[in-house]
Amino acid sequence: MDYFAQQLINGLVLGSIYGLIAIGYTMVYGIVGMINFAHGDIFMIGGFIALISFLILVSFGLTFVPLILLVVLLVSMAITALYGWTVERIAYRPLRHSFRLAPMLSAIGMSFVLMNYAQVSQGARVKPVPPIITGGYTLHESADGFNVQLSNVQILVVVTTVVLLGIFTWLVAKTRLGRDMRACEQDQTMAALLGVDVDRTISMTFVIGAALASVAGMMYLLYYGLIDFFMGFIAGIKAFTAAVLGGIGSLPGAMLGGLLIGLIETFWSAYFSVEYKDVAAFSILIIVLIFMPTGLLGRPEVEKV
């Protein structure tokens, strides 16, 4: 049971990171009806910006960790949001009224552009960082010497995810921007006729999704202590899988899917073969979609006539 509890903690932390990325996928799909395949690389860019910001602040002599983390978080969110806005303006807006395959191909191209941009500007080697947040708590000590540990960085990842999810839920449900987003999701033409600025709403959707991905990138950096230019592709595929598993277009579904993918990977790696953890995650996805084609919390699409 101690080993199971430890893996449960690890899976929830990993799932929280996947969930933050998956929200960006499901937001864009809900409003535009397209998959932003460059979103995983936006997550990677956010991780690099967090690393660079951290090194700059340390070089200036700042040593108060909470202040450093707050500044790095805000800077990373702001700059990564600008990347998200740029992706929408370059890869999506000019092709919004084109045939449905064109924006997807454009997003895939943008993904390769961002990946190679990071490789050229930051190098192809893995960038390790020393532990920034140390310490933790021992939840249970067993007789065989295996202790259930909960580190401070794991607490930070989960608490940050819960807080951001609460803020984002309030934003969508209670604000003017949230009402505009829900109106565009239902019918962009009618929303425009009723005074909604559709272009601005779609741009803000990309901006918010990119900001959440940057937080996930920073949490990944703090948790694993390393980043590289290729991590966005792998994490993006996992987060997209999480969004589909939970129900593409459903925000709670994206978070639920992220947690499930994280738990499946962690438990499979712990009890079976770590080489086949991806096979296990995608197999579960296939089984769920066979019996629930819209995902766990997805709604069936109603065709307007």
The percent of residues above 90 in pLDDT, for the chain, comes to: 45
pLDDT band at 113 (very low <50, low <70, confident <90, very high): very high
- Asked if the model's pLDDT at residue 298 lies above 90, the reply is no
Indicate the residue type of 27.
Answer: M
How would you classify residue 123: left for phi > 0, otherwise alpha for psi between -120 and 50, otherwise beta?
left
Side-chain-facing half-sphere of 178: CA atoms under 13 Å: 10
Residue 143's φ and ψ, nearest 5 degrees, are -70, -30
DSSP states of 193-210:
HTT--HHHHHHHHHHHHH
Give the model confidence (pLDDT) of 15-67 as tens digits: 999 999 998 888 888 777 778 889 999 999 999 999 999 999 989 888 888 89
Q: Find the helix packing angle between 198-224 and 39-59, rounded to 10°.
A: 60
Note the CATH number of domain 1-142+152-291.
Answer: 1.10.3470
Give the pLDDT confidence score for residue 215 in this predicted structure. Answer: 94
Taking the domains of the chain in order of start, what are their residue ranges? Answer: 1-142+152-291
Give the model confidence (pLDDT) of 204-216 as tens digits: 999 999 999 999 9
Residue 286: burial class (beta carbons within 10 Å; 0-12, 13-18, 19+): exposed
Give the model confidence (pLDDT) of 126-175 as tens digits: 998 888 888 888 887 877 777 888 999 999 999 999 998 888 888 888 89
Q: What is the mean pLDDT of the chain?
A: 88
For tokens 């108060």, the residue is 64
**pLDDT average, residue stretch 254-283:** 89
DSSP states of 88-126:
IIIIIGGGTTS-THHHHHHHHHHHHHHHHHHHHHH-SS-
Within 8 A by CB and 6+ apart from 6, the residues are 146, 148, 149
- Asked if the model's pLDDT at residue 296 lies above 90, the reply is no
CA dist 123 and 217 (Å) reads: 18
pLDDT band at 294 (very low <50, low <70, confident <90, very high): confident
The percent of residues above 70 in pLDDT, for the chain, comes to: 98
- Asked if the model's pLDDT at residue 72 lies above 90, the reply is yes
pLDDT band at 110 (very low <50, low <70, confident <90, very high): very high
**pLDDT average, residue stretch 98-122:** 89
Give the pLDDT confidence score for residue 300 in this predicted structure. Answer: 64
| Lowest-pLDDT range of 95-99, 105-109, 129-133 | 95-99
- Asked if the model's pLDDT at residue 242 lies above 80, the reply is yes
